[in-house]
Amino acid sequence: MVIPVHDVNPVRRTPYVTYALIAANVIVFLYTPGLAGSVAGDSALSQLCHLHAFMDQYAAVPQELIHHRMPRLVPTGEVGAGPDGPGCVLGPPDYDKSPPLSVLTAMFLHGSWLHLLGNMLFLLIFGNNIEDRLGHVRFTLFYGACGFAAAYGFALVNEDSGDPLIGASGAIAGVLGAYLVLYPKARVWVLVPFLVFLPLRLPAWIVLGFWFVLQAAYSSGAAVPDAGTVAYAAHVVGFLAGMLLAWPLRPGTPPPPEPRRLLFGRQARPGW
């Protein structure tokens, strides 16, 4: 993968919603039980049990989204001992969970610092221009719509899965899809890992098109035999949803400014 670091596409207004989303995601991560040292003094197993209980309550679960079927037993957050040794205690849920609302809460949950920082980097670079084009209110609705489309799209192809679905990736994939439609020729500075990280300035259609092709390949199993814990199908659905929602705005979107050429030799010193 290439790592985007900056796009040459200035905005006309401050992207308050983008900044607020980033701040909210970071704050939620810091206060997620069992992550970022938020359960101070607890053992590793205790932190894990707290985390499992928290995720089961607030993450989106495909079988709950499609069948509205809640599990009879869920982690309680407590540690107990069984025939196979210590583990997390299961019990009947003591809360009422709304599956549609869990999609919203899941969009602010992340499983690790790497998961969080990767998502926030993409949102920071590409979200400001989409917010600038849509406006603050419409961008908020757009972000949420892409997140819901991604979660339910993933759930439809994994309807019997009981694994929690978390992360802002689906909504941010929608932002990337919209950026590809509205600003395909915008230049993006990226770092390409090739022995060392090489900085390159590439058109957005190459950067985002390559990203989408990889997600589609991973979700189909063509690139990796097992997707593991990454919901690649949600990325694909979110990206396509963002493209469809942004397409009507394409004719009225002004093109990004042409980046200045990199000058060398006498071109860089016109007085010589």
Does the pLDDT of residue 103 top 90, yes or no?
yes
What confidence score (pLDDT) does residue 118 get? 94
Tell me what percent of the residues of the chain surpass a pLDDT of 70: 89
Does the pLDDT of residue 40 top 70, yes or no?
no
Instruction: Using CB atoms within 10 Å of the CB of residue 60, give its burial: 0 to 12 exposed, 13 to 18 middle, 19+ buried.
Output: buried
The secondary element (H helix, E strand) that includes residue 203 is strand 196-203
215-168-114-130 Cα dihedral, nearest 10 degrees: 80
180-196 per-position pLDDT tens digit: 999 999 999 999 887 78
Does the pLDDT of residue 155 top 60, yes or no?
yes
What confidence score (pLDDT) does residue 222 get? 53
- Predicted confidence band at 270 (pLDDT cuts at 50, 70, 90)? very low
Q: Using the 8-state DSSP alphabet, how is residue 18 labeled?
A: H
Q: pTM above 0.75? A: yes
Does the pLDDT of residue 120 top 90, yes or no?
yes
What confidence score (pLDDT) does residue 42 get? 54
- Predicted confidence band at 109 (pLDDT cuts at 50, 70, 90)? very high
Does the pLDDT of residue 39 top 50, yes or no?
no
Q: What angle do CA 195, 176, 136 make, to 5 degrees?
A: 135
Lowest average pLDDT, out of 43-57, 137-151, 152-166, 218-232, goes to 218-232
> Residue range 15-21: average pLDDT?
98
Contact 151, 234 (CB under 8 A): yes
Contact 146, 241 (CB under 8 A): yes
Higher confidence at residue 239 or residue 80?
Answer: 239
**Going by C-beta distance under 8 Å and a sequence separation of 6 or more, which residues neighbour residue 265?**
none
Largest CA distance in the chain: 84
How far is the C-alpha of 84 from the C-alpha of 153, rounded, in Å? 38
What confidence score (pLDDT) does residue 225 get? 46
CA of 44: how far to CAs of 29, 48, 49, 90, 131, in Å?
18, 6, 9, 18, 40
Q: Which residue has the tokens 């992360």?
A: 167
Q: How far is CA 77 from the centre of its chain?
A: 26
> Residue range 43-63: average pLDDT?
87
Does the pLDDT of residue 228 top 80, yes or no?
no
Q: What angle do CA 254, 128, 252 make, to 5 degrees?
A: 20
DSSP tally for the chain: helices H, then strands E:
9, 5
